[in-house]
Amino acid sequence: MSPTVLLCPPTHFDVIYSINPWMQGQKVDKRAAVEQWEKMKTAIQEWGVHVELITQRENLPDMVFTANAGTVVGNRVIMSNFAFPERSGETAAFEEWFATRGYETHRLPKNIKFEGCGDTVIHRGMMLAGYGYRSSLGGVRRAAKILETELIPLKLRHPNFYHLDTCFCVLSDYCAMYYPGAFTPSAIKKIKKLFLDLIELDVTDATQFACNSVVYKNKILMPSGPQKVMKELDLRGYEVTQINTSEFLKSGGSLQCMTLWI
């Protein structure tokens, strides 16, 4: 069975509010946004990955970032409780999509913040989870308990890297890339214990969202711009394709933000 990702066409994508440091009210070129999203979708399909689509609701401009819908393990989904009210309507929209397809959906108490795969990665039976900005420690603990996975909590400390997927990317069982400046010292120690081969990004590659890449086997789809990390990835045999995601970066997101593995 082919692996599957959930994508949301950017029919109503826009930047109409500011909930992270990247959202500076820049005007979105909607035609360019659609073209960039289509390139991403085509590249993923060319890998042999199956794509499922959810229709974007008009009043939810950030719904295109499907990674934030929840955390999926098998047939169970922990739905997100968004930190900001501007995105809270996404939860019901995504829950309806999953429920109609037979998934077992779970909601956390409303006062506990949790933003799905924006902050979580299921890796070797463990849940690596960022917390401190969008997800709370209580949120990732409850999600891990419901999904019966061991939790590795990683505290984030830089507001520009408010989600785990903006500063950390698993490449294989024992290889990952990350930006140390986004994590507390204790979180860095945990990461170093888990991965024998760690690629440390400099601030230039990190702020061009190198970690917000989509990875499948030895193939990587990366936002355009990062340069230094390309040499490290080439040495390790990864095939990297860069795609311009300028319009989505205006909202503080890129490729992995728009991709939910289900």
Residues tagged active-site:
163, 257
Distance separating alpha carbons of residues 114 and 112, to the nearest angstrom: 7
> What are the structure tokens assigned to 50, written together?
């199956």
CA atoms within 13 A of residue 214's CA, in its CB half-sphere: 31
Residue bearing tokens 């719904």: 63
93 three-state secondary structure? helix
Distance separating alpha carbons of residues 151 and 254, to the nearest angstrom: 26
- CB-based burial, 35-53: b 16+ in 10 Å, e otherwise: ebbeebbebbeeeebeeee
The CA-based diameter of the chain, rounded to the nearest angstrom, is: 46
Contact call for residues 113 and 82 (beta carbons, < 8 A): yes
Contacts of 262 (CB under 8 A, 6+ apart): 4, 5, 6, 52, 72
Contact call for residues 68 and 118 (beta carbons, < 8 A): yes
Name the DSSP letter for residue 56: P
